[in-house]
Amino acid sequence: MCGIVGYVGKRSCTDVLMNALSKLEYRGYDSAGIAVFENGKIRVEKSKGRLADLADKMEKTGRPEGHAGIGHTRWATHGEPSDKNSHPHSGADVTLVHNGIIENYKKLREFLINQGNTFTSETDTEVVAKLISYYYKGDPVEAIIAATKELQGSYALGIVFKDYVDTVFAVRCESPLIVGIGKDESYIASDVPAILNYTKDYYLLEPGEIAVLNPYGAKIYDHHYQCIEKELKTADWDMDAAEKQGYEHFMLKEIHEQPTAIKTTIMPRISDGLPNLEECGITYDKLLRYNKVFVVACGTAMHAGVVGKYVIEKLARVPVTVDIASEFRYRDPLVGEGDLVIIISQSGETADSLAALRLSKDRGADTLAIVNAKGSSIAREADMLIYTHAGPEIAVASTKAYMVQIAVMYLLAFEIALAKKVIDEDEGKRLIKELEAVPDVIQKILEEKPDTQFAASKLINTDSLLYIGRGLDYALSMEGSLKLKEISYIHSESYAAGELKHGTISLISDSMPVIAVVTQPDLALKTVSNIKEVKARGAYVILVCSDNIQVDEEAYDYKLTVPAVDSLLMPMTAVVPLQLIAYYTSVLRGNDVDKPRNLAKSVTVE
Ligand code: AGP
């Protein structure tokens, strides 16, 4: 989604803004713009398209020269991607950039038109600029407080006032924003990687707080205009983590980071060979109280929840419901006291997942967040928290975050099963040993480089394909299918193999390839029968299977094998070839792998 940056200091503001915005490109955007104080006046430059288009435009007009300003990458919500809808937007005294959605913007727009304002864009953001101008009587913070009281929805704003040269203001509600602190300079940013080149120290702005940045530092006020002291945080990511380090794409780098990410995530949660989640607020006593478990998330994180469901139900015999967050929040779910709601989110800022968390808390359920981004809203608001330690995930297509999310779901499943005494300590220790061995198996798969490029070459000209599997293989197929469609732009669906005959098999022909996942020995024979049925109807079949399962050669056209681990853990290893197939299909089709069209990394609006 949109990215915000701002700078005040001695450096060239345009250079800093453009560099910081480039670090937010992964969030997804369709236009960009900056506003810089040049010779005491605010100069705005903006353009539809990529940052390179903005840079080209400024080559012609001359880059703004100054030491304070704000910048933005826009992911269109209100109004098409165009120069005029790009941020920054202005009112009489104010220019600003905005992340989020103002839900009551139409009413406010009418009010402002009646006050004599005219609008140049279709955005909700221009309404905010004009509203702050309306309230501005000489004190920017007062104007921001008065205007934001009227806003409904979500926002993070970077603001400059024409009377306050070389000063940047910021405020947030729902959409995240940080204030970076360097030596004689300060920054605002919607995400840590934007400023890692300059500083690792930052304040996390809370909803309603207002930051005032000038060349001497930053002051933060609450919404009563009281100056407040905040804890300065230090990012534990370094710039290397947010760079490609020789890989052609972030996605490929992140696939290769998976073994380390699993180790960093699980090792601190294992003691004496058993899971230990006490530090995350999870005890046997608590786990024994829950009769029902809900997993609520979006996209890939929701698919990690589906794997979790299979594993928790199988091992711990507790019923688990997996919900898409945008459905859960509006379906009046039967959730309440005695239930555990697990929210999974890489960014910790997904609007629907955050709303589902709040709804569950309101209804008396205990909430547990599994989150990658430190200090994010979901992480802060949940009753219990397990951080995944994947480091920054830059590619829009999630890979290593999914891997560590499922690693945590395994730890949790083992812990619930132990608490409920459905398994004994010996079995718990055996399972942990198996889990600890997985990173090396994945490393081996990556080193041996399965020929996923060949599989990808068979898919590049197809319009549509199916992923099939049973049980955990079906859970995994969901993720394989999403990965492929989001970056290759080829339509695909995942199907429970046994469900094909109930309608979908009519789609099968020689122009509909099938990727079949077979890693569960107890289900293999059943799935292989289904594979033969699609093969007999002309489908080109790519089989992804574990090396302990024999499949007749006539059942498939191309086979990718992964080493067998405990069957419960197979999604962790078998997902790797599926990720690579998606990656290479996207590369071969010449797509922008890391920044697929129309997608945003962090979906902070509904
Ligand atoms: C997957 O590759 C996507 N990036 C997307 O489905 C993502 O998992 C989803 O938007 C949820 O994001 P979150 O984990 O940050 O909540």
For the segment 497-550, what is each residue's pLDDT rounded down to a tens digit? 999 999 999 999 999 999 999 999 999 999 999 999 999 999 999 999 999 999
User: Residue 339: CB partners within 8 Å, gap ≥ 6?
Assistant: 290, 291, 292, 293, 294, 360, 365, 366
Q: In 31-84, which ranges are continuous DSSP H helix?
A: 51-61
Q: Per residue in 292-323, pLDDT tens?
A: 999 999 999 999 999 999 999 999 999 999 99
Would strands 185-189 and 3-8 be described as parallel, antiparallel, or unpaired? antiparallel
Q: Which helix (H) or strand (E) holds 403?
A: helix 400-419
Answer yes or no: 545 catalytic: no
Six token digits for residue 69: 């300003």
Res 238: pLDDT: 67
88 lines ligand 1 (CB under 6 A): no
pLDDT of residue 131: 97
2 is catalytic: yes
Average pLDDT over residues 160-175: 94
Average pLDDT over residues 189-204: 91
pLDDT in tens, 386-410: 999 999 899 999 999 999 999 999 9
Instruction: Locate the ligand 1 atom nearest the alpha carbon of residue 396 and give its number.
Output: 4
> Of 2, 13, 173, 545, which is the active-site residue?
2
pLDDT tier for residue 235 given thresholds of 50, 70 and 90: confident
- Cα torsion 568, 444, 270, 338 to 10°: value is -30
Q: Which atom of ligand 1 is nearest to the CA of 486?
A: 2
Q: Cα 249–253–254 angle (5° rounding)?
A: 115
- Of 190, 481, 603, the residue with max ligand 1 atoms within 8 A of its CB, to mutate for a pocket test, comes to 603
- Place 174 in a pLDDT band, splitting at 50, 70 and 90: confident
Tell me the pLDDT tens digit for each residue of 248-291: 999 999 999 999 999 999 999 999 999 999 999 999 999 999 98
Q: Which of 57, 483, 485, 601 is catalytic?
A: 601
The mean pLDDT of 97-111, rounded to a whole number, is 94
Please give the pLDDT value at position 57.
94
The CB-based long-range contact list for 441-447 (8 Å cut-off, 24+ gap) reads: 441/562, 441/563, 441/565, 441/573, 442/258, 442/259, 442/262, 442/572, 442/573, 442/576, 443/259, 444/563, 445/562, 445/563, 445/573, 445/576, 445/577, 446/255, 446/256, 446/258, 446/259, 446/576
Residue 441 pLDDT class (50, 70, 90 cuts): very high
Residue 548 is encoded by which pair of tokens? 């302990």
- Per the model's pLDDT, the better-predicted residue between 23 and 140 turns out to be 140
C-alpha to C-alpha distance for 439 and 455, rounded to whole angstroms: 24
Question: How high is the pLDDT of residue 76?
Answer: 81
pLDDT value, residue 246: 85
* Two structure tokens written together for 176: 């995240």
C-beta 301 within 6 A of ligand 1? yes
Q: How much is the average pLDDT of 352-376?
A: 95
Query: pLDDT tens digits, residue range 142-158?
Result: 999 999 999 998 899 99
Task: Quickly count helices (H) and strands (E) in the chain.
Answer: 18, 26
Q: How far is the CA of 58 from the centre of ligand 1 (A)?
A: 34
Give the model's pLDDT for residue 239.
65
| DSSP letter, residue 232 | P
346 alpha carbon to ligand 1 midpoint, in Å?
Answer: 7
> What is the pLDDT, as a whole number, of residue 426?
97
Distances (CA, A) of 57 to 98, 304, 366: 22, 43, 52
Distance between CA 79 and CA 72 in Å, rounded?
16
pLDDT digits (tens, 9 = 90+) for 57-71: 999 999 999 999 999
Q: Quick one: pLDDT at residue 486? A: 97
With 90 as the cut, is the pLDDT of residue 440 above it?
Answer: yes
Atom of ligand 1 nearest to the CA of 600: 4
The Å distance, Cα 18 to ligand 1 centre, comes to 26
Prediction pTM value: 0.82
Give me the pLDDT at residue 175, please. Answer: 84
**Atom from ligand 1 closest to the CA of residue 373:** 15
Whether 179 has a pLDDT exceeding 90, the answer reads: yes
What are the structure tokens assigned to 604, written together?
């902070």
Pocket test for ligand 1, best of 26, 27, 295, 298 (most atoms within 8 A of CB): 298
pLDDT above 80 for 241: no
Model confidence pLDDT, tens digit, residues 25-48: 877 788 999 999 999 999 999 999
CA distance 178 to 13: 18
Is it the case that residue 348 has pLDDT exceeding 70? yes
Is residue 242 scored above 80 in pLDDT?
no
> What band does 601 get if pLDDT is binned at 50, 70 and 90?
confident
Strand 292-297 to 339-345 pairing: parallel
Give the DSSP letter of residue 453: H
Q: Could you tell me where the beta strands, DSSP code E, fall in 123-272?
A: 155-161, 168-173, 178-182, 185-189, 201-204, 210-214, 217-221, 233-234, 270-271
Which strands sit side by side in the sheet containing 558-562, from one edge to the other?
Answer: 491-496, 464-469, 514-518, 541-546, 558-562
Average pLDDT along the chain: 94
